[in-house]
Amino acid sequence: MTDRVIAVTVLEGAVEPFVHAFKYRNLPGLAVPLADRLCTLAGLRPATREMFGSNPLIVPVPLFPTRLRERGYNQAELLAHRIAAVAAMPCATDRLVRIRATPPQVGTSGRAQRRDNMQGAFAVPASADVRDRDIVLVDDVTTTGATLDDCARALKEAGARSVAALTLAHG
């Protein structure tokens, strides 16, 4: 389970079309303004990075390789790199992998179906060092938290001290 989730806005109004364009309309350039807004709303900058612990590491939620090829980029990874730059925190994109293709969460309904969909979808490669790290898991949107929780499960099983999630929106 994720120790805490920080979603800086709600996925509605003016926010929703920007997030959807970023994710589904091949507009990776939106990563910088969206991540900057996330950092501003979360109060995240180099002087506040300790809000995540003494040994923070930013880790984006990974896409399955097929989905990554289809989309051409991982929106969570683009956000994570920008957040890391703004907050002066290390970012590692190889600490967590998606080991199972899952249907998009947007196509599922209900908390139980989303959790079942994501169960066991993520793993930490044997060579990845997350032991005693305070992980800051980055994604664009959280709904029920099923994706974030399965990521947290894998990271904690590999020795992460804590896993906080940072997302643009809750929808």
Written as tens digits, the pLDDT of the chain (171 aa) is: 899 999 999 999 999 999 999 999 999 999 999 999 999 999 999 999 899 999 999 999 999 999 999 999 999 999 999 999 999 999 999 999 999 888 766 666 667 777 777 888 999 998 888 999 999 999 999 999 999 999 999 999 999 999 999 999 998
Closest of 20, 149, 34, 46 to residue 80, by C-alpha = 34
Q: Rounded to an integer, what distance in angstroms lies between the CA atom of residue 70 and that of residue 68?
A: 5
Rg value, the chain, Cα:
15
Map out the domains of the chain with their CATH numbers. 4-170 (3.40.50)
**What pLDDT is attached to residue 128?**
81
pLDDT of amino acid 108: 63
31-42 and 75-87 helices, crossing angle to 10°: 50
pLDDT of residue 105: 60
Distance CA 163, CA 145 (A): 13
Contact 143, 105 (CB under 8 A): yes
What residue type is assigned to position 116 of the chain?
D
